[in-house]
A and B are shown apart, each in its own frame.
Chain A
Amino acid sequence: MTESSGSKLLNGEACQRTLRGKNAGKNGFVKNHCVFEHPRKYRRPTERSQNAAPNSSLYKKPFSESFEETPLLVAVLTYMGYGILTIFGYFRDFLRHWNIEKCHIAHEREQQKDFVPLYQDFENFYTRNLYMRIRDNWNRPICSVPGAKVDLVERVTHNYNWTFEHTGKVVKDVINMGSYNYLGFAENTGACASAAIETTHAYGVGVASTRCEIGNLDIHEELEQLVARFLGVESSMAFGMGFATNSMNIPPLTGKGCLILSDELNHASLVLGARLSGSTIRVFKHNNMQSLEKLLRDAIAHGQPRTHRPWKKILIVVEGIYSMEGSIVRLPEVIALKKRYKAYLYLDEAHSIGALGPNGRGVVDYFGLDPKDVDIMMGTFTKSFGAAGGYIGGRKELIDYLRCHSHSALYATSMSPPVAQQIISSMKIIMGEDGSTLGKDRLRQLSENTTYFRRKLREMGFIIYGNDDSPVVPLMLYMPAKIGAFGREMLKRNIGTVVVGFPATPIIESRARFCVSAAHTREMLDTALRAISEVGDLLQLKYSRRERPLSTPGWTYEESLLQD
């Protein structure tokens, strides 16, 4: 839904620009040479874009991504629901304020009551009065390996989620639709696990020093060479934490006088990194290349604000798969833009590495592009590899520079050896270097599962966001009460899911997010789908107004018709 309005707006602006450009052409203003201009003003939601794939020549295969519009009635009811809950929130706050009711959450001490309050903002109101009521859906302790099935610790609450008690029982064999275990490497048996155990025997678990002091083990060097080979880049570097990889490696790359162009839905770690760097940040519409191009052109034409000096450098920051939308970055277009406007590209492949592409090498592999076109390849080992940590890959000079400037290389303890071993073993399996076809099988299984799961959900009439090939499958819930109800009802049916609400998504677009894994068998997926359908009927979640089965007249970015 945001897409359509966003695109209209942008194209409107593009038109204005054209006019302005023509008038001001003589004064040295930018003339209109946009790479990506829509042949038409905008597409109406009901229109099927048969021939409106402006840059389809850049894609080697169909790129079909859809974000069905929120039905108006649902949006209105959602706001109404939030309104009612907010009124009750104020009411409860009122009761707490006058000590009619006991306040469980952090609040000012009596002695400090005239101080500027520490704990008062909207998000806190939200936590106290909305999140708390359905908190039983999150932070649930699990007590087994988070593979295709997990065991949960059973817990109860006697005071409406303010405190929990463990009953000592275990909920067995819950189908896990929430872990980022794309290739199913979260295992406690098998080749990877035994290799990790051996490494623990050899090196121990802790390293107790940083990479540039006594924490640089041979296993780390081996890992970095392997990662570089896997990605097809000159050199790479591994860090102990994915979040820190982003937030600590953007600051050494950009600084004052630089411009960061960031997708509006980038992960918190990227946002934090960009803010820490002190550069100017401009945000473009999610995966919208017209918006990005407009920002690039403006940046080059106008330079820095006030001084109008040219920007020192421009860094485009995008992700491979967006974890809340399930969309895949339009990388061929981003690269075309980056080349044209001489910007740098930072690609975060946290979710896509291992999960996309015929060889599991992420979006670059998926689109069949050259990894050398991406200046900074970042990714994490937390997801597909079933380990922990992150990497940066790129040219040798870049990595050498980061080795002595990145905070997470200089000040953070290096990666634990068994974790490094887990990455090495799983990566070798994906690459087929262990002499088996296990990796290929897993990749194929994942893409089959993804296609199957997405197709079935769509046929059932749910609103599903994202790209058809992305293993992250968001299912829209919208109304606040349905977030809680969905999680609880699914768990009653022995399916563990992740439900996501406001701070992570726009306020009305609450959703449930499934992550398909290669470890899921067809039976598990069928069980899950049956339960989802049942809960969908119970909660009336089948909002989609597309004609079923499967054609997509809704507003979409659709480029499934490639002539060439």
Chain B
Amino acid sequence: MYFKNFREYLSWLYFQYLLITGIYVLEPWEKSIFNSILFSAIAMVVYTSYVFIPIHLRLALEFFHEIFGGQPESTMTLMN
């Protein structure tokens, strides 16, 4: 496909999204319901991951650190 500008490309992408999800055939109000549900779901996923993933990562790191952290330094030097 050849596109004149970025806007055209975006509208083509949106068209593909309509076709693949099948909402191309829906009436406009149904389309907006679908879009708002989908986008709010995505937004929530992004938001929760933004809020919770760093916490979980830190906890996990601490956990593994506790397990492996007690090792004597000499093994590390041996491996090097």
**Which A residues are closer than 8 A to B by beta carbons?**
77, 80-82, 84-85, 88, 91, 130, 133-134, 160, 479-482, 484-485, 537-540
Contacts and interface: CB of A to CB of B under 8 A. Distances in A.
A485 B30 contact: no
B16 A84 contact: no
A482 B15 CA distance: 11
Contacts of A481: 18-25
Contact of B19 (A88, A133, A134, A479): A479
B22 A539 contact: no
Chain A binding surface, main DSSP class: helix
Could you say which of B15, B16, B19 has the most chain A C-beta atoms within 10 Å of its C-beta? B19
Given A84-B34, A537-B1, A540-B16, A479 B22 contact: yes
Given A80-B20, A130-B25, A539-B19, 6 more contacts: A81-B22, A84-B34, A481-B19, A481-B23, A482-B19, A537-B1
A91 B31 CA distance: 13
Contacts of B26: 85, 88, 133
Contacts of A133: 25-26
Nearest to B38: A84
Interface string B1-43: 1000000000010011011111111110010001000000000
A91 B37 CA distance: 14
A484 B21 CA distance: 13
A163 to B, nearest CB: 15
Nearest to A133: B25
Contacts of B25: 85, 130, 133-134, 480-481, 484
Contacts, number: 49
Contacts of A485: 19, 24
A80 B21 CA distance: 7
A133 B31 CA distance: 13
A81 B21 contact: yes
* The 5 A-B residue pairs with the shortest CB-CB distance in the complex, in nearest-first order: A81-B22, A481-B24, A133-B25, A481-B22, A481-B19
Contacts of B15: 538
B22 A82 contact: yes
A540 to B, nearest CB: 6
Contacts of A81: 20-22
26 contacts: A77-B20, A80-B20, A80-B21, A82-B22, A84-B21, A84-B22, A84-B23, A84-B34, A85-B22, A85-B26, A91-B30, A133-B25, A133-B26, A134-B25, A160-B27, A479-B19, A479-B22, A480-B25, A481-B20, A481-B22, A481-B23, A484-B24, A484-B25, A538-B12, A539-B19, A540-B19
Given A537-B1, A540-B16, A88 B30 contact: yes
Contacts of B24: 481, 484-485
A485 B18 CA distance: 10
Nearest to B1: A537
